[in-house]
Chains A and B, each alone.
Chain A
């Protein structure tokens, strides 16, 4: 799974969550921020966590990922950081460690 594929998946989920009509005006990329650019609300973070879990399975735990962040990191969180986190969860070493 490449970062580009993951970005495309995450982008599709975000478009669904914030609504295609509104998402048209935003080019969701790696540097897009959840708070300042997407104005994602708390319940929408929860929706995203659910979607990510459904799509990627137990290896991607978005809630745990958020829980490790400081307040300032939450405020500055970008789509790219989530993409990198997901990619990291599927690297061969990680997969071996998790499965083995």
Chain B
């Protein structure tokens, strides 16, 4: 039996996919542990899972303070913030905790999320076999083809970090030379890209994620179609305009659909019987009832939607979301709209198109099939076992 250590950033979307893989490894008799921020990560792990905590703050700032500072940033400014103000300081702050976790747990294999750079650093420094956990596929393709300076700037940040820390042979910490686990498939990422042999596409890992959230199931009218409108966990202040646009977009469609909007109740006025506002939803349980999803393009929501063969309207805000939106439209599984500027009429026509043109659902179902056959957590566990 072997010992596997998952190193994750304090981000739910980056932790969820590792939970199912870790549980799969545990069920095979391996020793598994996670290293990360106890307050954020602890509640996401399965009961009985072992967590080795790291320092909660970095540079005197909490995650919530940092998040507030990042609000409103878009495009290249958001990109600069992500790396210079979040990922690099996060790596530095996590380093002592991760080094201690490795000392304590003595893993045979370390799995570092692509945004938990401290994991990659410690594995590299100690010569441990390690895998990259790519919970979003944006870094796997080159999203910077029109602005190559973004990609090279990020790479230079990583090299500088390693020089500062006295690492004699800096590497690109985003990509392991041993194994890169991508929680998507090439059908979604796009066949125009070719990948080295140690890149493995296992499909989304979404099995263990059911939390008890109530939902008024009786409200769903089986004679109408159902559309989910969600911006994930994005801050309300950013979503206010978009939600108002969405309400106006679906307002005249009461004869044919019902819409569920995921938002704090005080943020959206709902004058319509066919629009429901819920702050939290049981998304995986709701998906089988849905005919379309309007999303900001978070990788997990997009993959969960496609795993149910449901088409999308994607309104990317920033970070990896424009890349994911591009993948969805290239695959034919949905339409893209402009988050900050879309009008009610444009959003309405996009929703109607993905509902009425069967090609979007067919493409979503093609991706669904590719997800099913990719092997998921079991395939990921197989590949990780080969590293021992």
Contact = CB atoms under 8 A, between A and B. Distances in A.
Contacts of A39: 74-75, 340-341
B146 A71 contact: no
A49 interface: yes
Contacts of A49: 146
Interface residues of A, number: 24
Interface in B144-159: 146-150, 153
B338 interface: yes
A71 B153 contact: yes
Contact of B149 (A19, A35, A45, A71): A71
16 contacts: A19-B338, A22-B343, A35-B74, A35-B76, A40-B75, A41-B338, A42-B75, A63-B146, A66-B147, A67-B149, A70-B153, A71-B80, A71-B153, A74-B76, A74-B147, A74-B149
Interface of B: 74-77, 79-80, 143, 146-150, 153, 316, 322, 326, 336, 338, 340-341, 343, 346
Nearest to A72: B80
Interface in A51-100: 63, 66-67, 69-72, 74-75
A65 B365 CA distance: 41
B340 A35 contact: no
Contacts of B336: 43
A12 interface: no
In the A-B complex, list the 10 residue pairs whose CB atoms are closest, starting with the nearest. A22-B341, A74-B76, A75-B77, A71-B153, A39-B340, A75-B76, A35-B75, A42-B322, A21-B343, A39-B74
Interface centre among A21, A42, A44, A75 (most CB of B within 10 A): A42
A43 B326 contact: yes
A99 B152 CA distance: 33
B148 A67 contact: yes
Nearest to A70: B149
Contacts of A22: 341, 343
B368 to A, nearest CB: 26
Contact of B146 (A36, A45, A72): A45
Nearest to A23: B341
A45 to B, nearest CB: 6
A38 to B, nearest CB: 9
Given A35-B75, A49-B146, 16 more contacts: A36-B77, A39-B75, A40-B75, A41-B322, A41-B338, A42-B146, A45-B147, A46-B146, A66-B147, A67-B148, A70-B149, A71-B76, A71-B149, A71-B153, A75-B75, A75-B80
Contacts of A21: 343
A35 B318 CA distance: 12
Contacts of B150: 71, 74
Contacts of A36: 77
A18 interface: yes
A69 B146 CA distance: 11
A72 B148 CA distance: 13
A22 B343 CA distance: 8
A14 B310 CA distance: 33
Interface in A3-55: 18-19, 21-22, 35-36, 39-46, 49
Contact of B77 (A19, A35, A41, A43): A35
B77 to A, nearest CB: 5
Given A39-B74, A67-B149, A71-B150, A19 B143 contact: no
Contacts of A19: 338, 341, 343, 346
A19 B343 CA distance: 10
Contacts of B340: 39
Contacts of A46: 146
A21 B347 CA distance: 14
Contacts of A63: 146
B74 A69 contact: no
